[in-house]
Amino acid sequence: MQKVTRKSPNEKIIYFGDTARLPYGGKSAETILRYSIENTLLLLEKDIKMLVIACNTAASYSAERLKGYFNIPIVDVVEAGVAQVVATSTTKRIGILGTKGTIGSGIYQSKIAEELPGALITAIACPLFTPLVEEGFIHHEIAKHVVCEYLAPLKKENIDTVLLGCTHYPLLSHLIAAELGPNVYIIDSATACAEKVNSLLIEKKLDAKESQNPSHKFYVSDDPERFGKLACTFLGTSVSSVEKLTWHL
């Protein structure tokens, strides 16, 4: 979200965080797809002009279906991340870090392999990264230890590019960079996504032409107060009002 508002500062963001059912990382394909459809319907009621699937796990399992079902331009963070990896890697030796769901879906692996035939892809599920970030252990010795543990198989592969395939992981990028060394490009799928949003808005002539000093709107399915407090860390912005929004299904 921070990346999108920086790249497209005139646009008003309607944000929905499914805090009542998170995390998605360990849930089944079927359930993630159902949740993603329900969340899309909530946002459509808010009259959005474009949908951004900013959660890698949700994008992994639902992007293709949502693009088929709904009559609205959809940008998904996985597609954007893949494009960036393909543009960056020269040795075709690539690492992908994500939740169990994202890695298990195989979506990054198959999409990169499609665009970069012969690529050697090492994909690692890092289920402790998200709770570490949520616990605020970003600079803690324990986080270093966990990063070292998960990245050990990656260090043997002589990669030139690693993709951080989860919204929380960029908060650990200092540790990941220290572990992998200066010769590995770190790609944050959120940055790639923000660029894709901007170019698609222009292509579809949907971009807000003049600065409207947009006031963003935040919805969550549980505990708006807690979300307001965490927003600074996760969204890089302070949040004046957060409302609770739930499904009528």
Residues with catalytic roles: 55, 166
CB 189 within 8 A of CB 84: yes
Q: Which amino acid is at 103?
A: I
* Candidate residues 141, 205, 211, 215; the one interacting with a second copy per rule CB under 8 A: 141
Is residue 229 part of the contact set for a second copy (CB under 8 A)? no
The two tokens of residue 39 are 């969340």
Q: CA 89 to CA 115: how far, in whole Å?
A: 12
* Candidate residues 8, 11, 15, 19; the one interacting with a second copy per rule CB under 8 A: 19
Contact letters for a second copy, residues 57-96 (x by CB under 8 A): ----------------------------------------
Q: Which residues contact 47 (CB under 8 A, 6 or more apart)?
A: none
- The helix/strand count (H/E) of the chain reads as 11, 9
Is residue 37 part of the contact set for a second copy (CB under 8 A)? no
Is residue 189 part of the contact set for a second copy (CB under 8 A)? no
The two tokens of residue 176 are 């990941």
Is residue 226 part of the contact set for a second copy (CB under 8 A)? yes
* Candidate residues 45, 114, 135, 203; the one interacting with a second copy per rule CB under 8 A: 135
The two tokens of residue 69 are 């079902």
* Candidate residues 93, 223, 228, 237; the one interacting with a second copy per rule CB under 8 A: 223
Instruction: Indicate the residue among 120 and 128 with the shorter CB distance to a second copy.
Output: 128
Q: CA 196 to CA 192: how far, in whole Å?
A: 6
Is residue 41 part of the contact set for a second copy (CB under 8 A)? no
* Burial of 139: CB neighbours in 10 Å, binned 0-12, 13-18, 19+: exposed
Residues that bind a second copy (CB under 8 A): 19-21, 26-28, 30-31, 127-128, 131-132, 134-135, 137, 140-142, 145-146, 149, 222-223, 226
